[in-house]
């Protein structure tokens, strides 16, 4: 499983709706509205790099209201949660 964290800066006029639009993109598992230099953090979980490229280039970047984005791909996870098991159970 490939996990990426996508930081998204929104145009002011899109702040109220962009989070929901990000959540609808295939591969986006979670979206958070955050404080600081970025407006949203989207967590993307996909099986293949090609899916990640599609989610980012064809979907996130194309959304109306996205000013800019930055993506960080996770190399490893340090958590007590077994994320793969959570998704396998449908939770």
The backbone region for 90, taken as left when phi is positive above 0, alpha when psi lies in -120 to 50, beta otherwise, is left
Q: Check whether 91 has a pLDDT greater than 60.
A: no
Q: What is the percentage of the chain residues whose pLDDT exceeds 70?
A: 87
Structure-derived torsion over alpha carbons of residues 57, 63, 67, 72, reported in degrees to the nearest 10: -40
pLDDT of residue 90: 56
Beta-strand (E) ranges in 1-91? 2-10, 28-33, 40-46, 66-73
Structure-derived torsion over alpha carbons of residues 88, 4, 68, 64, reported in degrees to the nearest 10: -20
Q: What CATH number does residue 22 fall under?
A: 3.30.70.920
The total domain count for the chain is 1
Q: Which domain holds residue 50?
A: 2-88
Q: Is residue 55 classed exposed, middle or buried when 0-12, 13-18 and 19+ CB atoms within 10 A define those classes?
A: buried
pLDDT in tens, 49-89: 999 998 888 888 889 999 999 999 999 888 776 666 666 65
């Amino acid at each position: 499983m490939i996990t990426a964290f996508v930081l998204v800066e929104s145009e002011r006029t899109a702040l109220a709706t962009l989070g929901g639009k990000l959540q609808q993109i295939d591969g986006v598992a979670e979206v958070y509205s955050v404080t600081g230099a970025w407006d949203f953090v989207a967590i993307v979980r996909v099986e293949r790099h090609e899916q990640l490229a599609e989610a980012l280039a064809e979907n996130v970047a194309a959304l109306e209201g996205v000013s800019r984005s930055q993506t960080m791909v996770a190399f490893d996870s340090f958590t007590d949660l077994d994320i793969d098991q959570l998704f396998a159970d449908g939770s």
